[in-house]
Amino acid sequence: MAETEEEITFKKETVSKLLTSFFKEDKTRISGDAVVLMTEMIKIFVQEAAVRSQKQAEAEDCEQVEIEHFEKILPQLLLDF
Amino acid sequence: MSLDKEEVHQRLKAAVHYTVGRLCQKTGQEHHKEFSRQTIAAIAETSFRQCEIFARDLEAFARHAKRTTVSAEDVKLVARRSTALSMYIQNKSEELNQEKKSTGKRKSKDAEESRDQGL
C-alpha cells in the first residue's frame, strides 16, 4: 500500500450537475474548463475547512476534531472564500 | 420520468459527503487526528451550500458579460477574495490552456476520463 499518488477529488460530473442545479436560468451552461477549475476550488474549500478545524483542535489540545472546532473556524473560512 | 429536484440534490449531497469524508480522513491521517462524523457531515453540508453561492455568482458574472455559458473567466472572479486562491486558479487555468495547445485538439476525452477516477 505504498503509492499515495491516488488523488482524492470530486468527479467532474458531480460538480457539473451540482452547479447547474443551482442556476436560476435554464439556458445557463458551464464550460468544461470552468467545471475543472470549480472542482479544484471546491476541493480547496473542503481541505481548508478540514485543515483549519484540525489546527483548532490541536490548539485546544483535543484528540479528535469535533464540530465545535469547525464552528470556530467557519466564519473566517467563509470570509476568505 | 425525470427526477425530482429534491432527489437530485439528495444524491448530490451524498456524493459530496462521500468525497468530503475521504478528504477529511486523509487530512486526519496526515495530522494524526480523527474527524468526528458530525464534523464531516457539517463540512459536507457547508461545502454543499457554498456551491450554491458559487453557482449563483458564476451565473451572475456570465450574465453580466452577456454570455449564457459560464467560463473560466467567471471562475477566476469567484476566486478573487483570496490572493493565494486567485493565483492558484489562474495557474490552473493557464495549465489547461497549455494542455489544449500542446495536444492540438479539443480537450481530449482521455483527459476527462482520467480526471473522473471512478470516485
Residue of chain A whose Cα is closest to the Cα of B109: A32
Closest by Cβ to A14, choosing from B15, B50, B89: B15
The ipTM value here is 0.92
B87 touches chain A (CB under 8 A): no
**Range B97-101 average pLDDT:** 89
- Using 50, 70 and 90 to split pLDDT, how confident is the model at B100? confident
Going by C-beta distance under 8 Å and a sequence separation of 6 or more, which residues neighbour residue A63?
A57, B33, B34
Measured between alpha carbons, how far is B20 from A52 in angstroms, rounded to an integer?
Answer: 14
Residues B46, A49: C-beta atoms closer than 8 Å: yes
The H-or-E segment that residue B34 falls in is strand B34-35
Per-domain residue ranges for chain A? 33-81
Phi-psi category of residue B3: left, alpha or beta, with phi > 0 → left and psi -120 to 50 → alpha:
beta
Phi-psi category of residue B107: left, alpha or beta, with phi > 0 → left and psi -120 to 50 → alpha:
beta
Query: What pTM did the predictor assign?
Result: 0.87
- Using 50, 70 and 90 to split pLDDT, how confident is the model at B69? very high
Query: Helical H runs in chain B?
Result: 5-31, 37-64, 72-78, 83-103, 109-116
